[in-house]
A and B are shown apart, each in its own frame.
Chain A
Amino acid sequence: MSAEPAPGAQAAAPSGSRRRRLLALVRKESLQVVRDPASLIIAFVLPVVLLFLFAYAVSLDIQKVRIGLVLEGDGASAHSLAAAFSGTRYFAVTPARDRREVEEALVTGTLKGYVVIPQDFERRLNSGGTLGSPVQVVTDGSQPNTASFVASYAQGVIQYWLAASGGGLAASTGKRTVPAIEVRPRFWFNPEIESRRFLVPGAIAIVMTMIGTLLTALVLAREWERGTMEAILSTPARIGEILVGKLLPYFVLGLVATLLSAALAVYVFGVPLRGSWLTLLLLSATFLMPALGQGLVISAIAKNQFIASQLALITGFLPAFLLSGFLFEIDSMPAPIRAFTYIVPARHFIAALQTVFLVGDVWSVMLPNMAKMLALGAVFFVIARLKTRKSLDV
């Protein structure tokens, strides 16, 4: 399996020269990183761009949705309800008299839905449901999120309007306007429900995955591709030393990028950091173990930059984006995929990172997640060690 030299050969080297050898390797690799503008751009420019986008572009917060409002009726209450729709800050309303005017806009996607207030609106409202619903809402279901938003807020507007102006109407039909059970929500750690607050930690995890996994995989794959890896393997340096020398600069680069991203998040984008910087740093250092380990495994398997980049995309970047739980809830996924997410390092990182930012240093969350990341890191390093042999491929 392994063509490593006998232990005796290694023991001959005094420890002082071994340390010097390691330092020289680290120095050489660090110089390579610093000289490469691409690595520095990924480490320092991309975090800024990503955080900016996560803070402003990727917003799950409620905004004005464009809807059509078809006012077929002419009564006073129909007009009053139409005014209520135009007045709400959740909708940007395009008025119409005929539903055919807005149907086309729904197909092309310029409107996300429309509300119809029919001619016999008042009669339907007072009939207590025997004539059918007084208001119809049609949405563009091709965007399910927006569609359910339109439906539920349209309902909200009408309930509110009824309570404010039409309370008498409802009372006359003998209906309760207040629910029997009133539910009050409290969102802990994020009372204003700002999506930025839980998305930014996700952005940091993505940046770290890019540096830890993609960049490392590429750099090492290039060495294999060019044959310089084999050249360095033929030196007396041990595999462990070579790998440490290669990984250490990226470890430092990753930590610096995390600190930069976190500083931006806290001081520019106003995300609170309720835990300590030290914990944040410790978490990031822990995450870099599996991230770098994965990059190492990818490069050892691929030994080619194109394949390495595809593998890093497929096994590193996309899972960190889609299977890590910051955009999509893991508990809602089917059981096999849920099981798979345990081997996505970003999953554990993001859970801990969101806690450090929004809750504080809750060690009962940090420690299990850190243990899982370290375990994954150990597995990756063992695989990488087995795949990197001190021999040439035949």
Chain B
Amino acid sequence: MKLFSPRLRAQIKKEMLSILRDPRARIILIGPPLVQLLVFSFAATLEVKNASIAIYDRDGGPWAQQLAEDLAAASFVGPVYNFHRPEEVKSAIEQRRVLLAIEIPETFSRDLSAGRTASLQVIVDGRRANSGQVAYSYVEAVAANLGAKIHPPGPRTDLVAVRHWFNPNLTYRWFVVPSLAGILAMFTSLMVTALSIARERELGTFDQLLVSPTTPMEIIVAKTVPALVIGTTLGMLMVLAGSIFFVPFTGSVPLLVATMMLFILSNVGVGLMISAICATQQQAILGAFAFAVPTILMSGFATPVENMPKVLQWIAEAIPLKHFLVIVQGAFLKGSPLDAAWANAWPMALTAVATLGAATLLVRSRLH
């Protein structure tokens, strides 16, 4: 029993060769994505470490010194600048030399010794409000600890018991690595297919297909199979690397392979559509970028989908990456919950059918 006819198999082989023949292309398909996975998984962190802070101590009393010591010893703090004039604080913030500045008022130690509530002003660089907010909450915690030391019971800290499922220490890397595997596999499969038809049209070899007995369906299948194989292999390689170096993999490998193939297929469909529309490779690459960039932004990688306006959330339902991120995160951390996999697999299947169908129609119209 043969899955494909000899003619189709020959075409698939030819497409495979046209991608992998160039040794530089072979290297660039596999090497850089793995390096990127490594670099970006370390770089993409929302935890704040090694932050430069300024302390403007107008008090000079014992508690102010204690607070300064506690802050300097805190794990999120890098370089500490001690300032004595408000202008120094202003220019340090303006020039981005510090993320935040802590102003200790004159009455700080006196208030604390007298049992009154002492206040503390924290000035944060609003250009970096993202990490500034995180660092600010760390400062709050340092201050609360000191306060509790000075006036023992302090506010109740036993009110809430918090447990984080799937990722008890909220390691951000556990979120980034699976997501990056999806994003990088998407880029590769998209790029490989976006170029395929456009290159034939640019070089004129597409015209040869006109006089050959090939059908549009065969052309699409022949261009889909190599991209599917390369994309899925790359995606699973990254999952493997991720699970060795960074994140525990708790889910089901066969389920992930199957859904990964659906995900790659839906991107291949988009890539082929772009490729059939564009007359040159340059247009096709730009088209692929024009699709990929908004896709990443709306996929829930940068920020949660729920934060977006309703209309954009509906559009996001059609984005394969959005669904695959849920699946791949589930496969790493949640033991591949079946209903979540199913709920996100069928939208991808739908996109795959729609885009591959549209690509076939586009190729047919180009052939006639």
> Chain A contacts of B147 at CB under 8 A?
179-181
Which residues of chain A (20-78) have a CB below 8 Å from chain B? 36-39, 41-42, 45-46, 49-50, 53-54, 56-61, 63-66
Among A2-10, A261-269, A305-313, A377-385, which stretch is in contact with chain B? A305-313
User: Assuming A147-B170, A331-B50, is B94 touching A310 (CB within 8 A)?
Assistant: no
Question: Which A-chain residue is minimally distant from B134 (CB atoms)?
Answer: A329
Question: A108 an interface residue at 8 Å Cβ cutoff?
Answer: yes
Q: How far is the CA of A184 from the CA of B330 in the complex (A)?
A: 39
> Chain B contacts of A107 at CB under 8 A?
334, 337, 340
Question: Which B-chain residue is minimally distant from A146 (CB atoms)?
Answer: B304
Q: How far is the CB of A149 from chain B (nearest CB, A)?
A: 9
Q: How far is the CA of A49 from the CA of B295 in the complex (A)?
A: 11
Find out whether the CB atom of B170 lies under 8 angstroms from the CB atom of A144: yes
Question: A106 an interface residue at 8 Å Cβ cutoff?
Answer: yes
Q: How far is the CB of B132 from chain A (nearest CB, A)?
A: 7
User: Assuming A59-B303, A65-B306, A133-B158, is B50 touching A332 (CB within 8 A)?
Assistant: yes
Q: How far is the CA of A7 from the CA of B148 in the complex (A)?
A: 79
Find out whether the CB atom of B123 lies under 8 angstroms from the CB atom of A186: yes
Q: How far is the CB of A308 from chain B (nearest CB, A)?
A: 8
Find out whether the CB atom of B285 lies under 8 angstroms from the CB atom of A144: no
Find out whether the CB atom of B122 lies under 8 angstroms from the CB atom of A193: no
> Chain B contacts of A337 at CB under 8 A?
39, 42-43
Question: B174 an interface residue at 8 Å Cβ cutoff?
Answer: yes
Find out whether the CB atom of B155 lies under 8 angstroms from the CB atom of A38: no
Question: A233 an interface residue at 8 Å Cβ cutoff?
Answer: no
> Chain A contacts of B132 at CB under 8 A?
187
Count how many chain B residues have C-beta atoms less than 8 Å from C-beta atoms of the other chain: 111
Find out whether the CB atom of B195 lies under 8 angstroms from the CB atom of A305: yes
Question: B62 an interface residue at 8 Å Cβ cutoff?
Answer: no
Question: A145 an interface residue at 8 Å Cβ cutoff?
Answer: yes
> Chain B contacts of A65 at CB under 8 A?
306
Which residues of chain B (92-111) have a CB below 8 Å from chain A? 93-96, 99
Kindly identify which residue among A57, A175, A215, A332 contacts B51, using a CB–CB cutoff of 8 Å.
Answer: A332
Q: How far is the CB of A146 from chain B (nearest CB, A)?
A: 6
Q: How far is the CA of A154 from the CA of B162 in the complex (A)?
A: 9
Find out whether the CB atom of A132 lies under 8 angstroms from the CB atom of B161: yes
Question: B366 an interface residue at 8 Å Cβ cutoff?
Answer: no
Q: How far is the CA of A170 from the CA of B154 in the complex (A)?
A: 11
Q: How far is the CB of B58 from chain A (nearest CB, A)?
A: 15
Q: How far is the CA of A155 from the CA of B156 in the complex (A)?
A: 11
Q: How far is the CA of A362 from the CA of B129 in the complex (A)?
A: 19
Find out whether the CB atom of A195 lies under 8 angstroms from the CB atom of B131: no
Q: Is the interface of B mostly helix, strand, loop or mixed?
A: helix
Find out whether the CB atom of A190 lies under 8 angstroms from the CB atom of B126: yes
> Chain A contacts of B36 at CB under 8 A?
314, 318
> Chain B contacts of A311 at CB under 8 A?
28
Find out whether the CB atom of B28 lies under 8 angstroms from the CB atom of A328: no
Find out whether the CB atom of B164 lies under 8 angstroms from the CB atom of A139: yes
Question: Which B-chain residue is minimally distant from A315 (CB atoms)?
Answer: B32
Which residues of chain A (330-361) have a CB below 8 Å from chain B? 331-334, 337, 340, 351, 354-355, 358-359
Find out whether the CB atom of B293 lies under 8 angstroms from the CB atom of A362: no
Among B4-12, B135-143, B211-219, which stretch is in contact with chain A? B135-143
Count how many chain A residues have C-beta atoms less than 8 Å from C-beta atoms of the other chain: 116
Q: How far is the CA of A191 from the CA of B293 in the complex (A)?
A: 30
Among B112-120, B221-229, B230-238, B347-355, which stretch is in contact with chain A? B112-120
> Chain B contacts of A14 at CB under 8 A?
none
User: Assuming A141-B167, A179-B154, A365-B94, is B160 touching A135 (CB within 8 A)?
Assistant: yes
> Chain B contacts of A306 at CB under 8 A?
25, 191, 195, 281, 285
Q: How far is the CB of A214 from chain B (nearest CB, A)?
A: 7
Among B252-260, B307-315, B357-365, which stretch is in contact with chain A? B307-315
Question: B346 an interface residue at 8 Å Cβ cutoff?
Answer: no
**A-contact bits for B171-202, CB 8 A (1 contact / 0 none):** 11011000000000001000100010000000
Find out whether the CB atom of A137 lies under 8 angstroms from the CB atom of B22: no
Kindly identify which residue among A175, A185, A222 contacts B155, using a CB–CB cutoff of 8 Å.
Answer: A175
> Chain A contacts of B123 at CB under 8 A?
186, 188
User: Assuming A155-B159, A179-B155, A180-B154, is B46 touching A328 (CB within 8 A)?
Assistant: yes
User: Assuming A144-B167, A183-B143, is B159 touching A60 (CB within 8 A)?
Assistant: no
Find out whether the CB atom of B306 lies under 8 angstroms from the CB atom of A140: no
Q: How far is the CA of A136 from the CA of B224 in the complex (A)?
A: 50
User: Assuming A38-B283, A63-B306, A185-B122, is B162 touching A170 (CB within 8 A)?
Assistant: no
Kindly identify which residue among A109, A158, A184, A206 contacts B340, using a CB–CB cutoff of 8 Å.
Answer: A109
Q: How far is the CB of A58 from chain B (nearest CB, A)?
A: 5
User: Assuming A138-B165, A307-B28, is B129 touching A332 (CB within 8 A)?
Assistant: no
Kindly identify which residue among A129, A186, A191 contacts B158, using a CB–CB cutoff of 8 Å.
Answer: A129
Find out whether the CB atom of B155 lies under 8 angstroms from the CB atom of A148: no
Q: How far is the CA of A138 from the CA of B162 in the complex (A)?
A: 6
Find out whether the CB atom of A195 lies under 8 angstroms from the CB atom of B130: yes
> Chain A contacts of B329 at CB under 8 A?
142-143
Q: How far is the CA of A334 from the CA of B293 in the complex (A)?
A: 26
Q: How far is the CA of A221 from the CA of B1 in the complex (A)?
A: 45
Find out whether the CB atom of B125 lies under 8 angstroms from the CB atom of A219: no
Question: B286 an interface residue at 8 Å Cβ cutoff?
Answer: yes
Question: B47 an interface residue at 8 Å Cβ cutoff?
Answer: yes
> Chain B contacts of A106 at CB under 8 A?
165
Find out whether the CB atom of B139 lies under 8 angstroms from the CB atom of A183: yes
Q: How far is the CA of A354 from the CA of B95 in the complex (A)?
A: 11
Q: How far is the CA of A278 from the CA of B40 in the complex (A)?
A: 35
Residues of B within 8 A of A (CB): 22, 24-25, 28-29, 32, 36, 39-40, 42-52, 67, 78, 91, 93-96, 99, 112, 117-133, 136-137, 139-140, 143-144, 146-148, 150-151, 153-156, 158-168, 170-172, 174-175, 187, 191, 195, 278, 280-283, 285-287, 289-290, 293-294, 297-298, 302-304, 306-309, 312, 326, 329-330, 333-334, 337, 339-340, 343
| Further 19 A-B residue pairs, CB within 8 A, beyond A138-B165, A147-B170, A318-B36 | A57-B303, A64-B306, A108-B340, A133-B161, A138-B164, A144-B170, A174-B153, A176-B153, A177-B155, A180-B117, A185-B136, A186-B122, A189-B127, A195-B130, A210-B289, A306-B195, A322-B43, A332-B50, A337-B39
A sample of 7 cross-chain residue pairs with beta-carbon separation below 8 angstroms, ordered by A number, consists of A42-B286, A49-B294, A151-B162, A175-B156, A185-B136, A309-B195, A318-B40
Q: Which 9 A-B pairs have the closest CB atoms?
A: A190-B126, A180-B147, A141-B167, A141-B164, A329-B131, A189-B126, A133-B161, A129-B158, A38-B283
